Amino acid sequence: MPRPPTGRRVVITGLGCVSPLGATADETWSSAIAGRSGVGAIQKFDTTDFAVEIAAQAPDEFEFGELAAKEVRRLDRFTLLALAAAHEAMQDAGLDLDDAESERSGVAIGSGIGGLQTLSNSLEVLKTSGPRRVSPFTIPMSICNMASGYVAIQHGLRGPNLCQAAACASGGHSIGESARAIERGDADVMFAGGSEAPITELAVAAFANMKALSTRNESPAAASRPFDTDRDGFVIGEGAAVLVLEDLERARARGANILAHVLGYGMTADAASVAQPTEDGEGAQRCMRDAIADAGLNPSDVDYLNAHATSTPQGDPSEVRAIRAVFGEHTQRLPVSATKSMTGHLLGAAGAVEALLCVRALQTGILPPTINLDKPDPECELDHVANKARETRIGVAISNSFGFGGTNAALVLGRTE
């Protein structure tokens, strides 16, 4: 349900990203509007015995600020990715926080799985070498909130420190809850987003055995194909995105470059299935409606939608039915992108990366495409931004994120004047 106005407005003043499309936000955006796929053969382990041999891997070289080599070895990859995204976002926002301001600045970086590689490695040590050889850093390296914790430590952020562990909606929820923390007056600045590094033997095997992943091993770049008749599952991916959210008046007072407004946020649950959406997308419908109402808008005011659309047989049609139910006749005039066609599915980081892409679309008037949409599924008919970017000025964008357990998040973002 919509909430009463609080008087505080939230804006986005910084962006940072490491994704399968690049080591920075600029590289990610440039690759996205060029329609480049970030999917390829898995390089992280031997896939000989695996049904799935492809993934969307982020670069191994990225800038995460000053850390001693010894400290880096004590961090899981998902935390390092988050540090890199936060470091870039801090620089992009031009923030220089003093002691008083640091107490009003917080972090909320979500993750669906956390340090799965660390846990897998430690279990192997336990089995082969015994309990005394298990690293004492196993727990601090693997827990989901360590990305938020280390970002706070590195930048001296002493305000709220949170981790939304809401599966594939983690990044969306982190941004939405951070905006509400600012609206409530709990913080003036929040570093919000998501991070995930799930390309491990355990995760790939488990998702493959669920029949959730694409097995298009011979043509990886064509494997993620949301809304296409020939889609056969999602492509697992890794990466992180962090957005700097700030109270509007504070941002104006310091002369910040305001990139976009956070207008609305919705969150619901399907309460129906652990892994499958409902056929009519009822929970997604309510989520989008709540986010639009929270923004004080009507569905017809939305100019662009970045879909959750993972490229699964059940998930894509469910979301399309939800979009049609919410937007009605306006659906015909609502451009829709499914950028997971390029990034793969970054699980807990997906919503943050997609929110970042929405910000860039609002700034530039360029909508990133859904690639590999060669034979649109009749059940998924929409105004698809198919196969190449579209230039059109937009004022309001909505980003959907849905996750296992039936959790849903939707963000409404607006262009600056």
The catalytic residues are 168, 308, 345
| Residue type (1 letter), 203 | A
Q: Please give the Cα distance from 375 to 225 (Å, whole number).
A: 10
The radius of gyration of the chain's CA atoms, rounded to the nearest angstrom, is 20
d(CA 368, CA 389): 5
Q: What gap in Å lies between CA 72 and CA 325, rounded to an integer?
A: 48
**Which residues are CB-neighbours of 68 under 8 A, at least 6 positions away?**
none
Q: Taking a C-beta distance cutoff of 8 angstroms, is the pair 243, 359 a contact?
A: yes
Please state, in angstroms and rounded to a whole number, the distance separating the CA atoms of residues 23 and 8: 33
Distance of CA 373 to the CA centre of its chain: 22
User: Nearest 5°: phi and psi at 373?
Assistant: -90, 75
- Bridge-based pairing of strands 335-337 and 304-306 is parallel
Rounded distance, CA 399 to CA 266, Å? 10
Helix axis angle for 116-129 and 201-209, nearest 10°, is 110
